[in-house]
A = this chain, B = another copy of it.
Amino acid sequence: MELHQLKCFIAVIEEGGFNRATTRLHITQPALSYQIKQLEDELGASLFHRRPRGISPTEAGRVLFQHAQDVIERVRQARRAIERLSKGVVGEIRIGTVNSVGIYFLPPVLQKIKEKYPLARPTVMYRRGGEVMEALLSSQVDVAVLANPRPDRRLNFETIIEEKVSLVCSKGHPFFGRTSVQPHELRGLPFISLTQETPTGMLVKDYLAKLGVSVDVVVSTPNVDTVRKMVEVGLGVAFLPDMVTSADVSCDGKPIDLISRVEVRPSLTRKIVLVTWKKFQCGQVVQAFLDELRWHGGHWKACVESRPRK
């Protein structure tokens, strides 16, 4: 059974005869007879009573007619769905990212996209960096936005933001108010750290190791907001991406101007990187998302620095 056969069949019924159907189908009558015969042979039932004054459908014909119309309609719907995709009116955007980026950077980007493409359907997968990479490689997501991702020959890396990871302390801390501290001053201090599974946690650990500074890790958590809170209450100092300490409010809604950034030399930075497959082909909507992502990335630094923290 083939779709063009069903179309032939429908035409014969709707036009009420083989000869009349040929004009609609733009084929000759023997061709049509042949196709209908194919159908009948395959189904093992005749579909039409051949009567002197034209045809009339048998019961099998009537039953098939219902189903055939339905099938053709579904095909039409499939066509339309794909057409709407390529026209960019709808589109899924499957994003993989890590917590900090997902919380502090992505939301405004998605908001912009939603304004421009109301029918866009972004889905965000929050995982640890490695898992997001896996998801990208197995095509569970289309794009990944990661911090300091591990290189991979198959993938394309495009740095969106290069931001500082700064030392932060609470208002009551001895460092408070100082413009900078020396690395050796950190030695042995109570320290709040991101777990090493997070790229930034690892980054900070390597950084301290390279400086030859060992600190007293009093809290270790995978969640940046937890780190921030611990610092707020004065449990220790920490390194946090500027992103986290630049937002007006944290993700739980409380203002976060209770902590202060202090400069340490040499400074520590991390890169927010857009990762896609090499030769990544995508629809209009995803493309628009990428553009939006780049634009926001370019304006990020300015945005952060226009809201300096004491």
Binding site for B on A (CB under 8 A): 1-4, 43-46, 49, 51-52, 56-60, 62-64, 67-68, 70-71, 74-75, 77-79, 81-83, 85-86, 91-92, 138-139, 142, 154, 277, 281-283, 286
Q: CA separation between A91 and B286, bound complex, in Å?
A: 52
Within the complex, the shortest CB–CB distance from A4 to chain B, in Å, comes to 7
A283-B74 contact given A4-B2, A67-B81, CB 8 Å threshold:
no
Among B43, B52, B154, which residue has its beta carbon within 8 angstroms of that of A79?
B43
- What copy number does this chain have within its complex? 2
The 7 closest A-B pairs by CB, nearest first: A67-B78, A56-B139, A71-B74, A63-B81, A60-B82, A43-B82, A45-B86
A71 & B64 in contact (Cβ 8 Å cutoff): no
B92 & A52 in contact (Cβ 8 Å cutoff): no
Q: CA separation between A63 and B82, bound complex, in Å?
A: 7
Within the complex, the shortest CB–CB distance from A141 to chain B, in Å, comes to 11
Q: CA separation between A75 and B75, bound complex, in Å?
A: 11
> CB-CB < 8 A to A70: which residues of B?
74
Q: CA separation between A67 and B3, bound complex, in Å?
A: 14
Within the complex, the shortest CB–CB distance from A233 to chain B, in Å, comes to 46
A51 & B4 in contact (Cβ 8 Å cutoff): no
B1 & A79 in contact (Cβ 8 Å cutoff): yes
Instruction: With CB as the reference atom, state the residue of chain B lying closest to A283.
Output: B59
Q: CA separation between A283 and B58, bound complex, in Å?
A: 9
Q: CA separation between A82 and B282, bound complex, in Å?
A: 43
> CB-CB < 8 A to A79: which residues of B?
1, 43
> CB-CB < 8 A to A281: which residues of B?
46, 49, 58
B1 & A45 in contact (Cβ 8 Å cutoff): no
A49 & B1 in contact (Cβ 8 Å cutoff): no
Instruction: With CB as the reference atom, state the residue of chain B lying closest to A140.
Output: B56
A64-B78 contact given A3-B2, A56-B139, A91-B59, CB 8 Å threshold:
yes
> CB-CB < 8 A to A92: which residues of B?
59, 62
A71-B67 contact given A2-B3, A3-B1, CB 8 Å threshold:
no
Among B3, B58, B62, B86, which residue has its beta carbon within 8 angstroms of that of A60?
B86
> CB-CB < 8 A to A85: which residues of B?
45, 59-60, 63
Q: CA separation between A4 and B3, bound complex, in Å?
A: 9
A71-B78 contact given A3-B1, A49-B277, CB 8 Å threshold:
yes
Within the complex, the shortest CB–CB distance from A24 to chain B, in Å, comes to 18
A1-B71 contact given A43-B82, A58-B281, CB 8 Å threshold:
no
B56 & A82 in contact (Cβ 8 Å cutoff): no
| Additional 10 contacts, C-beta under 8 A, given A1-B78, A49-B277 | A2-B2, A43-B82, A52-B154, A58-B281, A59-B91, A59-B92, A59-B142, A60-B86, A67-B77, A67-B81
Q: CA separation between A179 and B79, bound complex, in Å?
A: 79
Within the complex, the shortest CB–CB distance from A51 to chain B, in Å, comes to 7
